[in-house]
Chains A and B, each alone.
Chain A
Amino acid sequence: MSVEAPAATGNMGEPHPRFDARLKVTGGARYASDMPVDNPAYAYLVTSAIARGRIVSINLGEAQNVPGVLHIMTHENTSKDVKDSKLFSDGGFSGTSIIPLQSDKVWHDGQIVAVVVAETYEAAREAGYRVKIEYEAEQPSATFESNGVQVQAAADVKKTHEDPKVGDFDGAFASAEVKVDATYFTPTQHHNPIELFTTTCAWAGDKLTVYEPSQTMYGMKNGIASQLGIEPEQVRVVSNFVGGAFGSKGSLTPRTALTAIAARRVGRPVKLVATRQQGFTIATYRAETKQRVRLGASRDGKLTALSHEGWEVTSRPDNYMVAGTDATTRMYDVANVQSKVSIVHADRNTPGFMRSPPELPYMFGLESAIDELAYALDIDPIELRRKNDTMKEPIKGLPYTSRSVMQCFDEGAKSFGWSKREPKPGSMRDGDWLVGLGCAMSCYPTQMAPSSARVRLSQNGELRVETASHEIGNGAYTVIGQIAAERLGVPYEKVSVVLGDSDYPAAPVSGGSITTASVCNCVAEACDAIRAELGINDPKGDVLAALKSRGRGAIERYAEWTPKGVPDGALAKLYSGQAMPTGGTKDKERIMFAFGAEFIEVRVHQRTREIRVPRIVGAFAAGRIVNPRTARSQLMGGLIWGVSSALHEATEIDKRAARYVNKDLAEYLVPVNADIDQLEVFMIPEEDHEVNPLGIKGIGELGNVGTNAAVANAVYHATGKRIRDLPIRLETLLA
C-alpha cells in the first residue's frame, strides 16, 4: 500500500494533510467526554434483561445504600419528563420513538430502565448492578421467521415510499432466455465507533449545554429542546471532534434527554459514558435484510427483466427502513422492472442509518445476481455490465448528470490484472490455495442539503470559517478550509475552520455523504460575496490587497446555500435541524450518483477453507475531489469496511431471547491490519457541474458499497460455491 499522498490530477484539489491529524495522534483533539465541566456527577445506565414485557417492580434499596449515590431515575419518577419525539427519518430528530422510563413497558433487550447518578463512575456502576428489577416477560420475536413478527409493505406504512416499477416484469421474466432467481441475506451489524456513546450535560440557569459526539448539531439542539419542552435557544450543543459515527450519531438517542434531566435534578453537570455493550442496544444499528433478486436476460446478455424485493427488520413501533431498491432498480438499462420493500416488526431496538444504509445491503443482492447472470450467460462480468450500462435511469428515463462507471471498471481492471483471470470457477490455484477474482459495481447517490456559513477575512491575512458542521473523520475541517483558501486566494495555512458547535451557523446533518458538497458550496458563496464586496471579480485578483487599500480591518459574510430542486421551506428546516438530503433519485429532472468499480482477490485454503484477501482495488469517479489524500483515506476505509462486512462482521442474535450476544469488539469481529494486505484506490477525474456549482459528489459512503458482493463473487470464482448469506465464513465454505 502506498503511503505517499496521491497526486492531484484533473480537477482535483491539493492533497493537504488533514488539519486535525496532529491533534488526533497527539491527544490534542478534545472529544465530547474530554470537555471539562465543573464538579460533574456520573451516570450509569441500567438496561433491561428481557426483550418484551413489563417491569413489575423495582427495588432500589440496595442501590441507594451504595456510598456516593445521588439519584436514581426509573419510570416511577421520570415517566412524564420526556416529551414524545418523532423518528428522524419521518422528519423528527430521534433514532427511535421508544422513550425509556416513560412507562413499565419493555420494547427490546437492553432498553434503558434506570439511570443511576453518583459521585463517581464506579459508585454509579456498582449501584447500577444492585438495582433489582422484577419483570413479567413475554416471548419475544427476534428476527425473520420468528413467531409473532409482523410484516408490512413499506408502501402501506410510509406515504412517501415508492416501489420503483416500469414495464411488465412478469411477462419479460417469463419469456427471458436466461434467468437468475436467488435470495440473499445480509446480517445485523453495529457501527461500533471507537468513541463510545457519551453525553455530558451542564445547566446554567435555564440554559443547557450538551457535549455529545454528534453528526447533527442543529438536529440535537432542536431535538433535545423539543424532548425537554424548552426553547431551542436555551440549548447549545458542542462536538468539535467525533471519534467515529458512521450514522450512529446522526439522530438523537434517548440517553441525551435522560442525562439532561439527571443534571437538572442533582443540580450539577452529569457525565455519561455508556459501555461498549450498552452501545448495541441504546443506539441504532444496521438491520438484517433478506432480498430476492430475479434477473432475466437475452442470450447475448441484454437485461430484459429485473425484480428486487427486500425485507428488513425493524422495531415494534417504528417503520424505519432503508429501501435500497430506490437505487438498485436504476443501475442498469432494463425495460421491465419491479420492486417491493417490506418491513418486519420484531422485538428489537429501532435500527438506523449505518454507512451506505440502503446501498450496502441492496447492492450486495444486485451485484451478486449480476455475477450469477454472467456465469449463466458465460459472459465476462465486466462485459455484462458494459452491455447494460446506461446514461439514463430506466424507471422515469431521467438522465444521469454524469456516470463514469465503465471508466472505473476499465481503469480498475487494468491495474488489477483482470485480463489474467481464468473465467472458470476453481480454475486458478497457487499451491494449497484456491484463487478467486471478483468484481462489483459501487454507487452512491449524490445528495446535498441547505447549509449556512460565516467567513471572515482579516487584514493580517487570516481567514476564518464558521459553520456548525461536523468533523466525523470525513476531513471536514480540511476540505472546507481548502475551498475557502482557494476561493479567496489565501494560503491554506492561513485558514482556520471551526465546526461542531450549535452557536455557529446552521449546517445539515453529516450523513448521506452530503457535507463536502453542501458546506463547501455555501462557503464558496460567502467567499464570493466577500470578493464582490471588495470589487475583485477576477479569480486571480488579490482580495487581501483590496481589503488593505480600503483601510478595513476585516470583512465578514454570512451565506445560505440551497441546492437546486429542494422543496419549499428547506431553508427553514435547516435552522430547525430537520434538513434532509435531497438529490440522488429525488430530483425531478435528473439523477445523480457517484460510481465505482471494486476488485477483490481472495484465496481460500483448499483444506481448512481459511479465506484471505491479498488484494483490493477500487476505482471511483465522484465528481470533483477536493482533497485526494483525505478522499483516498475515506475510500480505503470504505473498502476495508466492505471486506469486513463480507467476511467478518455480524451481530449474532440469540433467537430465544431476542438478544445480541457478541456485544464487544472481541467477539464482534472487525478486520485487523494483518487481515488487509494490498489495497489500491484510483480516483478517476470527473467534471459534473450539474450536481452543484463546485461539482462535488461526496464519497463518504461510496467506498464500502459493492465490496461485499465483489468478495462473494471472488469466493465463487475461487471455489465454485455461491454464498448468498453474509458474512462468508469458513464453516459455510466447508459445509
Chain B
Amino acid sequence: MGFALHEAKTLAEATMLARDLGPDAMFIAGGTDLIIQINRRVNTPRDVIDLSRIAGLSGISHAGGVFRIGALTKHKTVETYPAFGFGTPYAGLREAARVVGGHQIRNQGTVGGNLANASPAADLIPPLLALDAELDLVGPSGTRTLPLNAFFLGPRRSVRAHDEIITEVRFRDLPPLSAIAFLKAGRRKAMEISIISVAARLTLEADGRCRDARIALGAAAPTPIRAREAEALLEGGVPDEGVVAMSARAALTSVSPIDDVRASSEYRRLLVAALVPRALKICIDRIKSARS
C-alpha cells in the first residue's frame, strides 16, 4: 500500500535511484505540494525519494557578485534573509517569499520545490525571472545549467527529466540604481493562490533613463513569463507616467490568461494592466529613496 520511501544521502544516490526506479518515482523535499497531491490521488508515485537529507543544498550565500540559493532553502529563509530585506534592492524577493502559504508552509516548503513544480502561479518565480536567474540541474549523466526562463514548458511541466534534481538557483548582483518589486492579487491578502502576480525590476542611469527593465508575470500564461515588449518600451527612456502606462498596455500583448474558478481571463488582463504600473512605480520610488 502507499509508496516506498527512499532516503538519499547524496545527490548521486538520489539521481541513480530515480533513474533505476523509473518515472513512477518522484522526489520529495518539503512535501508541501506532493503530499497533498498524493492524498488527493492526483499523483500516485510508487516510490518517493527524499532529498531533505542531502547536505549542501540548503542556504543562501553571496560571493563574487553572485547570490546562490540552494534548492532545499526554505521560503522562510528567503523571507528573512537580510540582504533581501526592505530597503535593499532585492525587497521584491522577500515580498514574494512571504506570501507563499502560511508560516508553517514557508518553514517547510523549499525554493527548489517551488521551481520544480512549475506552477504558473508560483510566487517565487516572477522575481527570480526578473533577476535573470539561472539554475543547475544534476542528473545521472551530469550537470547542466540553464536560464530560469528556459526551464518552464507548460502548467506543471518543465525541461527537468524525472531523474534530474535542481540543486541551486542563482543571480548576479543588481547594478546600482536598481530595485525589484513584487505584487500579487488574490481574493484575500494571504494564504491565497495568485490570480495574477507581477514582479518588476528597473535599473536606472544616473540621469533617470531606464537602463534595464524586467517585467515577469505569474498566472498570466501557461508558464510564468516575461513581458518583453513592455520591457523594451521602458528601456532607454525616462519611465514617466506615460511610458509606464504604455508599457502596461504592451504587457497585455504577452499574456494569455485562463478562465478558472478564481478569475476570468478578462479580469486577469485587467489586473495585469493595473498591477504592472503599480509595480514599476514601486521600483522607481525605491530607487529614488535609496538614492536620497
Beyond A608-B270, A608-B271, A731-B263, is A122–B2 a contact (Cβ under 8 Å)? yes
Contacts of B1 in A (CB 8 A): 66-67, 122-123, 126
Contact B274 A731 (CB under 8 A): no
Is B188 an interface residue when CB atoms closer than 8 A count as contact?
yes
Contact B274 A607 (CB under 8 A): yes
In the bound complex, CA of A605 to CA of B192 (Å)? 20
A719 nearest CB across to chain B (Å): 16
Contacts of A122 in B (CB 8 A): 1-2
Chain A 593-639 residues near chain B, CB threshold 8 A? 605, 607-608, 610
Contact of B188 among A129, A605, A669, A734 (CB under 8 A): A669
Q: Flag B1-28 by CB within 8 Å of A: 1 or 0 each.
A: 1100000000000000000000000000
Contact of A607 among B2, B192, B193, B270 (CB under 8 A): B270
- For residue A607, which residue of chain B has the nearest CB? B274
A642 nearest CB across to chain B (Å): 16
Is A729 an interface residue when CB atoms closer than 8 A count as contact?
yes
A281 nearest CB across to chain B (Å): 17
Contact A734 B267 (CB under 8 A): yes
Contacts of A673 in B (CB 8 A): 190
In the bound complex, CA of A122 to CA of B3 (Å)? 12
Is A666 an interface residue when CB atoms closer than 8 A count as contact?
yes
Chain A 638-678 residues near chain B, CB threshold 8 A? 648, 652, 661-662, 666-667, 669, 671-675
Is B264 an interface residue when CB atoms closer than 8 A count as contact?
yes
Contact of A729 among B187, B189, B274 (CB under 8 A): B187
Is A266 an interface residue when CB atoms closer than 8 A count as contact?
no
Contact of A672 among B2, B191, B267 (CB under 8 A): B191
Contact A610 B188 (CB under 8 A): no
In the bound complex, CA of A123 to CA of B2 (Å)? 9
A196 nearest CB across to chain B (Å): 15
Contact A675 B270 (CB under 8 A): no
Is B185 an interface residue when CB atoms closer than 8 A count as contact?
yes
Contact B189 A675 (CB under 8 A): yes
- For residue A605, which residue of chain B has the nearest CB? B274
Contact A671 B188 (CB under 8 A): yes
Chain B 231-272 residues near chain A, CB threshold 8 A? 261, 263-264, 267, 270-271
Contacts of A729 in B (CB 8 A): 187
Contact of B187 among A123, A648, A661 (CB under 8 A): A648
Is A157 an interface residue when CB atoms closer than 8 A count as contact?
no
- Residue picked from B185, B188, B264, B274, most chain A C-beta under 10 Å: B188
Contacts of B270 in A (CB 8 A): 607-608, 734
In the bound complex, CA of A662 to CA of B192 (Å)? 14
A109 nearest CB across to chain B (Å): 17
Contact of A648 among B188, B264, B273, B274 (CB under 8 A): B188
Contact A129 B41 (CB under 8 A): yes
Is A7 an interface residue when CB atoms closer than 8 A count as contact?
no
Contact B267 A731 (CB under 8 A): yes
Beyond A608-B270, A734-B267, is A674–B187 a contact (Cβ under 8 Å)? no
Is A23 an interface residue when CB atoms closer than 8 A count as contact?
no
Q: How large is the interface on B (under 10, 10 to 19, 20 to 34, 35 or more residues)?
A: 10 to 19
Contact B189 A126 (CB under 8 A): no
B195 nearest CB across to chain A (Å): 10
Q: Flag B129-155 by CB within 8 Å of A: 1 or 0 each.
A: 000000000000000000000000000
Contact A675 B188 (CB under 8 A): yes
Contact B185 A731 (CB under 8 A): no
Contacts of A661 in B (CB 8 A): 261
Is A376 an interface residue when CB atoms closer than 8 A count as contact?
no
In the bound complex, CA of A730 to CA of B274 (Å)? 14
Interface of A is mostly: loop
In the bound complex, CA of A671 to CA of B264 (Å)? 21
In the bound complex, CA of A66 to CA of B192 (Å)? 37
In the bound complex, CA of A549 to CA of B284 (Å)? 81
- For residue A125, which residue of chain B has the nearest CB? B39
Contacts of A669 in B (CB 8 A): 187-188
Contact B193 A672 (CB under 8 A): no
In the bound complex, CA of A730 to CA of B271 (Å)? 12
In the bound complex, CA of A661 to CA of B261 (Å)? 10
In the bound complex, CA of A669 to CA of B187 (Å)? 8
In the bound complex, CA of A734 to CA of B263 (Å)? 12
In the bound complex, CA of A608 to CA of B273 (Å)? 9
Contacts of B261 in A (CB 8 A): 652, 661-662, 667
Contact A731 B264 (CB under 8 A): yes
In the bound complex, CA of A607 to CA of B190 (Å)? 22
Chain A 287-306 residues near chain B, CB threshold 8 A? none
- For residue A667, which residue of chain B has the nearest CB? B261
- Residue picked from B1, B270, B271, most chain A C-beta under 10 Å: B1
Contacts of A671 in B (CB 8 A): 188
Contacts of A674 in B (CB 8 A): 188-190
- For residue B266, which residue of chain A has the nearest CB? A734
B40 nearest CB across to chain A (Å): 9
Contacts of A648 in B (CB 8 A): 187-188
- For residue B99, which residue of chain A has the nearest CB? A674
Beyond A66-B1, A731-B267, is A610–B185 a contact (Cβ under 8 Å)? yes
In the bound complex, CA of A440 to CA of B263 (Å)? 30
Contact B2 A126 (CB under 8 A): yes
Contacts of A605 in B (CB 8 A): 274
Contacts of B267 in A (CB 8 A): 608, 730-731, 734
B36 nearest CB across to chain A (Å): 9
- For residue B196, which residue of chain A has the nearest CB? A608
Contacts of A662 in B (CB 8 A): 261
- For residue B41, which residue of chain A has the nearest CB? A129
In the bound complex, CA of A688 to CA of B183 (Å)? 52
Contacts of A66 in B (CB 8 A): 1
Contacts of B192 in A (CB 8 A): 672
Q: Flag B167-208 by CB within 8 Å of A: 1 or 0 each.
A: 000000000000000000101111111000000000000000
Contact of A608 among B185, B187, B189, B190 (CB under 8 A): B185
- For residue A662, which residue of chain B has the nearest CB? B261
- Residue picked from B2, B191, B271, most chain A C-beta under 10 Å: B191
In the bound complex, CA of A123 to CA of B273 (Å)? 51
Contacts of A67 in B (CB 8 A): 1
In the bound complex, CA of A610 to CA of B274 (Å)? 11
Q: Which 4 A-B pairs have the closest CB atoms?
A: A674-B189, A672-B190, A126-B1, A608-B274
Contact sample, A vs B, 21 pairs, CB 8 Å cutoff: A66-B1, A122-B1, A122-B2, A123-B1, A126-B1, A126-B2, A129-B41, A608-B267, A608-B271, A608-B274, A648-B187, A669-B188, A671-B188, A674-B188, A674-B189, A675-B190, A730-B267, A731-B263, A731-B264, A734-B267, A734-B270
Measured CB to CB, the residues of B under 8 A from A are 1-2, 41, 185, 187-193, 261, 263-264, 267, 270-271, 273-274
Q: A126-B2, A674-B189, A675-B188 are in contact. List 15 more A-B contacts (CB 8 A).
A: A67-B1, A122-B2, A123-B1, A129-B41, A607-B270, A608-B185, A666-B191, A669-B187, A669-B188, A671-B188, A672-B189, A672-B190, A672-B192, A675-B189, A734-B270
